[in-house]
Amino acid sequence: MEATESSAPIQPVVQANEPPTRHVATYTSGPISFEVLTQLEPVGAATKVTRTVEVRSTSLVRTVAYYLLGPMFRKTMGQEIRESLESLKAKLEDSSA
């Protein structure tokens, strides 16, 4: 996932990487920081992917702006997550064929 602020990519900082079950990254260079936790667990022959995003802000103005713009932000992030997971699924299926 790549977020942008003024066309500059915001680079994640990996907090934990425990293949093949857990990955945690934080994004802190934008106006609002957030942490993304991705967990993978086997379910029969499939894999359940759970992604949790925790949003943080140290500024009251940014917090209010997030709550006002939150629905748009969540929709955009949800779309990016779906596209990212669909791409990952396609790559994994191609590599196992």
pLDDT at 65 over 80: no
pLDDT at 13 over 80: yes
Domains of the chain: total: 1
pLDDT of residue 28: 82
User: 85 with 49: CB under 8 angstroms?
Assistant: yes
Q: Are strands 8-10 and 13-18 parallel, antiparallel or unpaired?
A: unpaired
Q: Mean of the pLDDT values across residues 22-51?
A: 88
49's CB contacts (< 8 A; 6+ apart) are: 38, 39, 40, 85
pLDDT at 22 over 90: yes
51's CB contacts (< 8 A; 6+ apart) are: 36, 37, 38, 39, 81, 85
Instruction: State which residues form the domain around 14.
Output: 3-96
pLDDT at 5 over 80: no
